[in-house]
Chain A
Amino acid sequence: MSAEQTRQKNRNVVLYGIGTVVFMLLFVFFVLRPMYYLICEWTGITGSQFEASETKNLAIDENRAVKVQFLAMNNATMPWQFQPEQSQLTVKPGEVKQVYFYAKNNTTNDMVAQAVPSLSPFEATNYFIKTECFCFNSQPLAAGESVRMGLVFQIDPDLPAWVKTLSLTYTLFDITDSAGATAASFNRLALHNL
């Protein structure tokens, strides 16, 4: 093999090497990350669902009652007052229900919050249909201001029979510093996180 041939072959290895590196970088951003969210969505494993659904005309299962518990939590240093107006509710699958959460900004600063839901057991995530939820948008509150935040939901009658109780937890995050950017990333969330 001549020196020139070897040089050419080395150049090819470098090109393929750099090609692989670029491919893997793109793979992380555009394959691995969306794949994570797709798997989360299919399995409902995170118990989070940010997407608004249409109210479905579902047959109401009169013979079944599912207990739904509501919990509100503040993340880390979030100082707001945040609680559900009722802590639990018995729902028949198919019924459309509305509940409210109360939030008050007790501080002297204008702030923006974002609620992140988590449903337990996670197997029920894809059967818990939210037609309206304060978690779909960020929530600004001026100093001292308070708000009733609504949640409209339905339980799909296909919910596995072993699920008798659902716990829906909302965690409130302080996003005052990054409100603009966060709204943008939530728009992306609506597009299936892709």
Chain B
Amino acid sequence: MTTLDHDHSDHGPAKGLSRWLFSTNHKDIGTLYLWFSLSMFFLGGLFAMVIRAELFQPGLQLVQPEFFNQMTTMHGLIMVFGAVMPAFVGLANWMIPLMIGAPDMALPRMNNLSFWILPFAFAMLVSTLFMEGGAPDFGWTFYAPLSTTYAPPSVTFFIFAVHIMGASSIMGAINVIATILNMRAPGMTWMKMPLFVWTWLITAFLLIAVMPVLAGVVTMMLMDIHFGTSFFSAAGGGSPLLFQHLFWFFGHPEVYIMILPAFGVVSAIIPAFARKKLFGYHSMVWATASIAVLSFIVWAHHMFTVGIPFAGELFFMASTMLIAVPTGVKVFNWVATMFHGSMTFETPMLFAIAFVVLFTIGGFSGLMLAVAPADFQYHDTYFVVAHFHYVLVPGAVFSIIAATYYWLPKWCGRMYNETLGKTHFWLSFIGVNVTFFPQHFIGLAGMPRRIPDYAVQFADFNMVSSIGAFFFGSSQLLFLFIIIHTIVAGKKAEAKPWEGAEGLEWTVPSPAPHHTFETPPDVK
């Protein structure tokens, strides 16, 4: 089974910088991804603080509208492509081989490449902030013609950065698929795979299917800007609306790329702390697959107001609502797993439960937005901002934090401080709700998104939201402190620090040795 042609037990990792630069070890590369993601999380968070500071009061106080637009754009791009996606790839790198009993990822050299092109992509993207004309200012959805005819010159750097990020994601996805298909330990049958592995397998297929669509869209932009084509220019016979269709054909599967692995994380943590097997394992797998398939036929619900035919509005409204069914199956399964369980509330479990509750709130506001006639009122308001932040922050981000607390003992061999962890949870939980819940109200009252100024009637809720944002943002510094504190001074962790945890990853010592499962484990 092993693809290694000599015995590694005699040496550990290489010393110094070359360990990280040239590493082909899934654990090292996973660590790199996770640290990279954390640093992008703080950078994107810093941009969010600028946005919330400007919106603290009506009127223009701190930044110019042009810079505000750059902040909203960069915040979105960095959080989506720099923080959430690499975090899940990092988790996949660390955990998938350990969960399926494989010695490493299937394609270790490609693994190294797919990580190391990322810092270049983001260096290029962030460098646009210092360029003449400023950074991209057309929103993370970069609608044409804002991103073509009216874009700052730095848009070309943005396009190439997106190309590189796409290449990185595609390589990561191919690697995950190869690992799961070919590297499972004997006896690790499909329906014995942990749900995190299942959700990542499906996510990887989504990535391979839609990242090329994104690459195609930005290539069309590049050609429109530099080579005189008119893909998105009405003057030349193209259509700006075509951009939106193509973008959301990528964009909607993309939002599931950011949430399906989160489902996998939560499906690992809730059974561990409820001390019960996951309720409805098979239905979880099928629900994940159905969500992935449905994600390809709902894209136009982002565009109800552009003037699609009535039949189209009906179709996309119905197909969008259909997604609530498999998602509901998942939520009920998690609740049923907890029901009559012997629950304890360690930090990972707290974040996982908050995920279930708050993600469901985000799902419900999604259902409200799916109602086509109502969407005409909500479209491009803060209600949309509240919706997708509820599914992405207490959704995707909380699951990543939960995963970090859950597997940190395995990664570094030390336990985090439980009191600090719980403090971090409660600060985050309060912060996230104070920040984003009021945005529902100002959105329903009609405050548009992506505008640096607003009518005075929205002032109070905006101030509450900004205070919440500063509170949430600074509590994440505690997260950074907890991680460093754990690595430096945490108590030694056992191989299986969680009583109810299941899975092959807990059969190896903590910290997981540099090489694991060189002889495949017995899978019961």
Contacts and interface: CB of A to CB of B under 8 A. Distances in A.
A194 to B, nearest CB: 13
B228 interface: yes
B236 A175 contact: yes
Given A20-B209, A29-B216, A32-B249, A182 B237 contact: yes
B230 A1 contact: no
A10 B212 contact: no
A189 B5 CA distance: 58
18 contacts: A3-B2, A6-B1, A7-B3, A9-B178, A10-B107, A13-B106, A13-B181, A14-B174, A17-B173, A17-B208, A20-B208, A21-B208, A33-B246, A45-B308, A171-B234, A178-B235, A182-B237, A186-B237
A180 B229 CA distance: 10
Nearest to A172: B235
Interface in B132-177: 170, 173-174, 177
Given A3-B3, A24-B210, A33-B231, A181 B309 contact: no
Interface size band for B: 35 or more
Nearest to A21: B212
A161 B351 CA distance: 60
Contacts of A174: 235
A36 B178 contact: no
B242 interface: yes
B216 A25 contact: yes
Interface string B234-272: 111111011001100100000000000000000000000
Interface in B194-234: 208-213, 215-217, 220, 227-231, 234
Nearest to A181: B228
Nearest to A14: B174
B182 interface: yes
Contacts of B16: none
B235 A182 contact: yes
Contact of B212 (A28, A75, A175, A193): A28
B12 interface: no
Contacts of A171: 234
B8 to A, nearest CB: 14
A51 to B, nearest CB: 11
A182 B237 CA distance: 8
Contacts of B216: 24-25, 28-29
Contacts of A29: 216, 220
Interface of A: 1, 3, 6-7, 9-10, 13-14, 17-18, 20-22, 24-25, 27-29, 32-33, 36-37, 40, 43, 45-46, 50, 75, 114, 116, 171, 173-175, 178, 180-182, 185-186, 188-189, 193
Nearest to B217: A28
Given A21-B212, A43-B309, A175-B235, A3 B5 contact: yes
B239 A32 contact: no
A1 B1 contact: yes
A18 B177 CA distance: 12
B183 interface: yes
Contacts of B242: 33, 36
Interface in B252-294: none
A14 B109 CA distance: 13
Interface of B: 1-3, 5, 106-107, 110, 170, 173-174, 177-178, 181-183, 208-213, 215-217, 220, 227-231, 234-239, 241-242, 245-246, 249, 307-309
A41 B59 CA distance: 46
B237 A25 contact: no
A178 B174 contact: no
Contacts of B5: 3
Nearest to A115: B235
B236 A24 contact: no
A173 B230 contact: no
B236 A181 contact: yes
Contacts of A186: 236-237
A43 B313 CA distance: 14
Question: What 6 A-B pairs have minimum CB-CB distances, sorted nearest first?
Answer: A173-B235, A181-B228, A28-B216, A24-B212, A17-B174, A13-B178
A178 B208 contact: no
Contacts of B107: 10, 14
Nearest to A40: B239
Nearest to B228: A181
A100 B229 CA distance: 30
B249 A17 contact: no
Given A20-B208, A25-B216, A13 B177 contact: yes
Contacts of B308: 45
A29 B231 CA distance: 10
A171 to B, nearest CB: 7
B229 A185 contact: yes
Contacts of B174: 13-14, 17-18
Nearest to B236: A182
Nearest to B238: A185
A185 B230 contact: yes
Given A6-B1, A6-B3, A24-B209, A13 B182 contact: yes
Q: Which of A20, A22, A24 has the most CB atoms of chain B within a 10 A radius of its CB? A: A24
B246 A28 contact: yes
A3 B5 CA distance: 9
